[in-house]
Structure 1
Amino acid sequence: MTMLDALSIFTALLEVLLQGGVIYGWPSIQFVLIQEGYFAFNCSFLPGNGTMTPCSSDESTFNLVFTLAIAAQTISSVPFGYILDKFGTWTSRSIACFLNTFGWTLLAVMSPQTVGLLFPAMIFIATSGLHFQVTNVQLSDLTTDHKSGYLFLLAGAYDSAVVVFFLIKVAYDSGTHLTSVFQFMACISVFPWLRTFLLMPKNKIIVDKDGSVGRYGILDVLHVAKRTQITSSVETGSPNTDRSNPGVELSIDETQNEENELSLKSCLKSLLFWTNLIFLSIGSLRLVFFFGSYISWVSRIHPSDRIDFFANLFGYILIAAGLTAPINGVICDVVEKYSGDSNISQNTRKLRGLFVTMFITGSIEIILNVTVLTNSVYGSLVTMLFFRSFLFGSLSNFLAKNFPLIHFGQLYGITVFAAGLFSLLQYALFLSIEDSNLFSVVNYLLLAVCILSFVHPVLIFVKAYTSHPVNY
């Protein structure tokens, strides 16, 4: 691994930590916006021990902002995935960088009188954050034997990005003007622009069979033709395979075909792809409903003067996501490396590692449902911490290891798009729990569908551990 490789990986984690899953820190920023009087025209506020207590219609409006941001984030994954695969990293990231900067700028100029800007601002920030994570997945090829570890670490950074809204709340509580904080974040949004053209490939990361990496990032900008290592094709004198020449590069499709002949159509016909999609959709709905109803749920079971404490606790707990996410990746790598004897194929080893990660993730999901049903706020926060960091890490790991990386953008986009559409049910579920008697009913329903989603790890188990696995 070169210095450029290490710098790209480190800054990728930093970028995703600062700009990734920021939207999932929604309970923290929602509390601040309530104090500032956003959407106050919806209803009258009742003072409660120095805090502002929102009414039901106010909660619904805030939940609608969150729901639309999550839905737009996931729906945008399809066009972004297509642009990434067809037009390259620089093009797709430039769009994401623009949306990110524009989103923070809208927050910086927003006020309670122009609260409508909150909708596009959150949509742009959520959308760009997801794409920053997706484009950084390809850097796993630079980590050789630790791909799962990097992918889960990346997922952990994405989860830990909730700390951004939490720190904004901390700054606000300490007396800093909200507009000043948003202006600072708008300045921070310049960082992804710099990474795009200095530390990311113009198209995709290209790794030869001998492990050498083609030039990217600053080397492309400076038009440096020197490669990390000289490819075997150069040694044979083939003029059409000299990728060290800026003007002559093998197409991404040709490179991938040497590694795996699976077409995108074949990937979409795979049963495991669709069970994985269902697994993510159900898990995403469970998670989004938890985030969207957290403040409302806590308000029902604890006094109003404790809401601020639990809003802060939410932020503190999720800061640790960067530490918990790699655990599942390490487990996957260990199982893959030491699973069975030397006669087992590499593909089977990968499937066994994937089974363990999916089984653990699904089990934690069920525990989360149980803690919510028993009104255990502390238990639900800890469980949600592990579930959030494991769920999307498992998705990236599954698609990157089970299918050709050349199709990752589109496969990821289709999967997250479907999950996003499914997660729109969250708003309907939230409206239904305005009658507190239905809260338990909704959560029992979620528990049932979460149990049904276990069909995915079961199918992976059958394919990985039976002597004559079925091809699906």
Structure 2
Amino acid sequence: MALNDQRRSSTGGFDPWRGQSPAGSERRRLSFNPVAQWDPPVTHEEPPVGVVETSKSKRIAQVAVAAIYCLLAAGPVFGYAAIKPVLVQEGVYRETCTKQELRDGVWVCYEQELRLNLMFTVAAVSTNVCALPVGTVLDRFGPRIASLVGVAFLTLGSLFMAFAAELPFDGYIPGYFFLALGGPFVFISSFQLSNTFPKYSGSILALLTGAFDTSSAIFLGYRLLYQGTNGSFTPKKFFLCYLVVPVFILLAQIFLMPAQSYKTISELVAQVEEEPPSATINGDHRTPGRRRGRESVTSEITALLGPKKADKRVAVEDKRANQSGVYGAMHGKTALQQVLSPWFVLITLFTVVQMLRINYFVATVRTQYTELLHSHSAGVQVNEFFDVALPLGGVIAVPLIGIVLDHTSTPFALALLVGLATLIGAFGVIREMWAAYANVCVFVIYRPLYYTAVSDYSAKVFGFATFGKVYGLVICLAGLFNFTQAALDTLTHRTFGNDPVPVNIILLVTALFVGILLVGFVWRKSYTLSREKLEEEAEDAREVLMPDADEDAVEGTHHNGTA
């Protein structure tokens, strides 16, 4: 979820990064499409909605309702660690266990663990790959249609999960798959609401992102309810009740939400600039009325942005761009040139390894610590702590993300990610309860920081003209590579006798190696780009000063000649 780059996108006309883009994208509509070009809107598309045309109370209601349904539907599948014990207790995939495993009374058998983890792996992969079709639907048909597609997927997912035990085929994997697909359609469609109050666009995006991170608590709430009723509130009852959520989103889209995205500030500014106050229509002079309309739009823009002047905003953003150290490194290049560069290859390798580690830990936290601590009850205790910490970490990390990405360089941010990832890997091989709690605490802060830092890197290095295609490809490839999680499960259970330490060490060493390569490359390029910029500024300064020096020399010669 790309908080930093989305925050800048929502105030396109005042964003110096866009202004410096060779593509001149500051006049173009904000696009969520990872595959399409930055083409002008085609004639059949409806224009974006003007913020000034919607009342303030309605815009407040839209943001509040979006935050609620994102909390309920954006990413509940990432609460898999919380619902997995319920599914195990309900006997899901228990038929795959051997007779010996059943006689031993194991909590979860090998094949059962693989099938359950495959359910989450498919959901995690589809969530990442889904960014491609979501962007296309959103750009072409608008947020309402995109959200309604999400409603359909959420409904299908709920019905499959509710009746999976009664179906003649495996309904759990498609059910969880559809729930995973529905989340991005609903969540990404809500990003454009940051334009409802441009002055607070960052806060709105933080609210929506926080709702997404907290949505993993939905299954935690259900697990607690399941345990509190001694299993009488079955998954079938829960998922039938959950159908209220897609119905709520459907009603909100029909009666409250805009059919098309709100205009960005750049589009409002363009509206003022492109409409001359003295224009006439068919000889009918309407100067006073048009001038009043122009002045009204201008005053609305000022009210929306607040008293802070645009030039001051530009100065602040320009300072942040310069502070990055790598801003503009690949701007102006084609998407193919960017994809073939070390900038792309290294960040993709890093993302692949880290996303695999993150999703593998989410899927196996209980089984890992049951083996590490040699106690099922200790594994349950760590799992329950993780279920609470995961959504809370997403909220707590928001200010940390802002500080790191807005006030430090990109090499520092990447080095911090590598350091935290190494710390998580080190805690993951220590067989102590304190290390388990420490691991969970660092993990839940690292996860949202990692996702946002990767999108921030992509925006700064590759630029917004190709951001959707390049960043979408990074996430898509990383998501597809998550299917190798099954191989990690096989290594853990069969090769290493259920001991998670060897696999954790493999992941630790691989991540550290790739991380060092990435940080080393980016730091070196940052130093090189900084030197090149200083040389360019010095050259520009000489070009400005030399004409004055030549003029003074000519005047001095003239005076000497006359004397």
Structure number, greater radius of gyration? 2
Counterpart residue number, 2:424: 368
Once the two structures are TM-superposed, the CA of residue 418 in structure 1 deviates from its matched residue by: 0.6
**TM-score, scaled relative to structure 2:** 0.65
Counterpart residue number, 2:318: none
Alignment partner of 1:318 is 2:390: yes
Amino acid in the other structure paired with 2:242? M
Partners of 1:204 and 1:114 in 2: CA distance: 43
Relative to structure 1, the CA distance from residue 469 to residue 456 in structure 2 (aligned partners, 3 Å threshold; closer, same or farther) is farther
Counterpart residue number, 1:432: 491
Once the two structures are TM-superposed, the CA of residue 234 in structure 1 deviates from its matched residue by: 3.3
Partners of 2:385 and 2:398 in 1: CA distance: 22
RMSD: 3.6
Counterpart residue number, 1:91: 145
Gap runs ≥5 in structure 1: 214-229, 245-259, 337-351
Amino acid in the other structure paired with 2:154? N
Superposed counterparts of 1:221-370, under 5 Å: 231-236=272-277, 237=279, 268=339, 272-300=343-371, 301-332=373-404, 334-335=406-407, 352=409, 354-370=410-426
Once the two structures are TM-superposed, the CA of residue 329 in structure 1 deviates from its matched residue by: 3.1
Describe the SS at the equivalent of 1:467.
Answer: helix
Partners of 2:525 and 2:175 in 1: CA distance: 44
Q: 1:388 aligns with which of 434, 443, 447?
A: 447
Amino acid in the other structure paired with 2:264? V
Structure 1 stretch displaced more, 202-211 or 99-108: 202-211
Partners of 1:197 and 1:400 in 2: CA distance: 34
Once the two structures are TM-superposed, the CA of residue 411 in structure 1 deviates from its matched residue by: 4.1
Once the two structures are TM-superposed, the CA of residue 269 in structure 1 deviates from its matched residue by: 6.1
Query: Sequence identity, in percent?
Result: 21
**TM-score, scaled relative to structure 1:** 0.76
Alignment partner of 1:70 is 2:124: yes
* 8 A contact 2:77–2:216 mirrored in 1: yes
Alignment partner of 1:188 is 2:242: no
Amino acid in the other structure paired with 1:188? V
Relative to structure 1, the CA distance from residue 65 to residue 446 in structure 2 (aligned partners, 3 Å threshold; closer, same or farther) is same
1:105-161 superposed Cα distances (whole Å, 9 cap, x missing partner): 222223276671111110011122233333333444556466666555544332222
Relative to structure 1, the CA distance from residue 92 to residue 113 in structure 2 (aligned partners, 3 Å threshold; closer, same or farther) is closer
Amino acid in the other structure paired with 1:418? L
Partners of 1:7 and 1:174 in 2: CA distance: 34
Counterpart residue number, 2:531: 468
Partners of 2:417 and 2:153 in 1: CA distance: 32
Structure 1 stretch displaced more, 420-429 or 450-459: 450-459
Amino acid in the other structure paired with 2:361? F
Describe the SS at the equivalent of 1:320.
Answer: helix
* 8 A contact 2:162–2:239 mirrored in 1: yes
Partners of 1:122 and 1:153 in 2: CA distance: 25
Partners of 2:525 and 2:363 in 1: CA distance: 37
Describe the SS at the equivalent of 2:531.
Answer: coil
Counterpart residue number, 1:417: 476
Describe the SS at the equivalent of 2:91.
Answer: coil
Aligned residues: 419
Relative to structure 1, the CA distance from residue 238 to residue 83 in structure 2 (aligned partners, 3 Å threshold; closer, same or farther) is farther
Gap runs ≥5 in structure 2: 1-50, 282-292, 297-330, 534-563
